Amino acid sequence: MLLVEFTALALVALQFAAHGPTSLPDFRLAALITVLGIVHTEISLGVERVRRRVSDGNYVDLTSVWTFAGAVLLTAPQAGVVAAVVSGHLWWRAWRLRTPLFRHAFTASTIVLSCLAASGVMSSIAGGALGTADDGNLRLAALVLAVLVYTTVNSCLVAGAIAVSSPQFDPTKVFASWEENVLEIGTLSLGALTAVVLVVNPWLVLFVLPPLLVLHRAVLVRQLEAAASTDGKTGLLTAAAWHTQAERELRRAERREGPRAVLVVDLDHFKAVNDTHGHLAGDQVLAAVADALRSEVRDRDLVGRFGGEEFVVLLGGLDEPGGDGRGLEAVAERIRRRIASLRVEMPTADGPLTVAGLSASVGGSLYPGDGGDLRTLLHVADTALYAAKRAGRNAVRLGVQVPAQVDPLAEPVGPRGSGEPPAAY
């Protein structure tokens, strides 16, 4: 992070030394873009604060409309200063209570370096500012390349900082989501149009602000929808969101080949974890189980938390040529073994704590053999889950199987450790 920050400062200083004093027209244009960026922040302040609260990970800063316009129209050092001022004002007004200064200094540095790179593209291809090149196609090519360079430099610098500070590299978590990247391209495109407007008639920039504020609201709605559909403790889908998406997936299954399946996973003796170690430790165990579930299924499969220690999975496109449930049973057994092998480590006031010996009971149902709608599939899977509980826990039962008759008064006779609560040491 310090390397990126010092590099940004050094390059801006070197560029100022190379370009010499700023002319009065350039100073006025830089001041205008800076003021527009500050006005934009002030108008959208409430929305931006909410966006910051509900965001999870990387998200697009819409002030790039102005920083990119500066990169297109100004010299490299001027664009860098505009980016630093606009970004600093945004942090002070909207982010400073939730984002440490050292993190924002790094973020601002990545924006400055992105502006320097985009400005370099405009200078080398279009001959400097947007209006200096005579060939319209050349100007268009320079703008397109500048957009790509800006977003690539910014994304890679941020992703690099996350990657070197994370114990395990996961590209899906390091880079922003596909929707955020598309939004970034759209915001930069609006910045390119803003640059064109400033060249044609600066007063026309007033028509840029209304659609930009509408975009703020639209992005906030999308973020709120995502936050409402995500369980805060595990990052999985909430029960309501899972139901909605699972219903949609089953409707698609009617038009496509390949069966679907539902798994209901319930942790055994989870209450013992909360009673012994507290609910914070229990939350960490739930998060570890959620990660285990995600790692054992495909990205297109739906994983949700039904509440408490119960999870649900919708598997799509199983390889079930005979429809006998063998593929579903293999997935369920893999999940059961993965949970049984978990060792959840966490710091406590009394020293490191490791929770191990976890187990889960799994019930499953297969579409369309066990039911043609989601409600029936869940009922069959839940019935199978309780059959697994009665069989001694730490077991898998499927709707297509006929569970063995078990005396409810008998002692559990499940796999090793199935009748014991999780151990901690």
Question: Active-site positions?
Answer: 309
Question: Considering only CA atoms, which of 318, 354, 361 is closest in space to residue 339?
Answer: 361
In one-letter notation, the amino acid at residue 403 is P
Helices (H) and strands (E) in the chain, counts: 15, 8
* Residue 300 CA, distance from chain mean position: 15
List CB contacts of 21: < 8 A, sequence separation 6 or more. Answer: none
> Please, which residues bridge with residue 348 across strands?
351
List CB contacts of 137: < 8 A, sequence separation 6 or more. Answer: none
* Residue 12 CA, distance from chain mean position: 32
What are the phi and psi torsion angles at 45 (to 5°)? -60, -45
In contact, 261 and 379? CB cutoff 8 Å: no
Long-range contacts of 377-386 (CB under 8 A, 24+ apart): 377/262, 378/262, 378/264, 378/312, 380/262, 381/262, 381/263, 381/264, 381/312, 382/264, 384/264, 385/264, 385/266, 385/361
Cα(181)–Cα(178) distance, rounded to whole angstroms? Answer: 5
The HSE-up count of residue 335 (CA atoms within 13 Å, CB side) is 32
Bond prior to 368 in cis (omega within 30° of 0) = yes
Cα(118)–Cα(146) distance, rounded to whole angstroms? Answer: 5
Cα(358)–Cα(265) distance, rounded to whole angstroms? Answer: 13
Q: What share of the chain is helix, strand, coil (3-state, %, to 5)?
A: 60, 10, 30
Q: How far apart are the first and last CA of the chain?
A: 38
Cα(239)–Cα(363) distance, rounded to whole angstroms? Answer: 17
C-alpha distances in angstroms, 413 versus 387, 407, 408?
A: 13, 11, 12
* Residue 392 CA, distance from chain mean position: 38
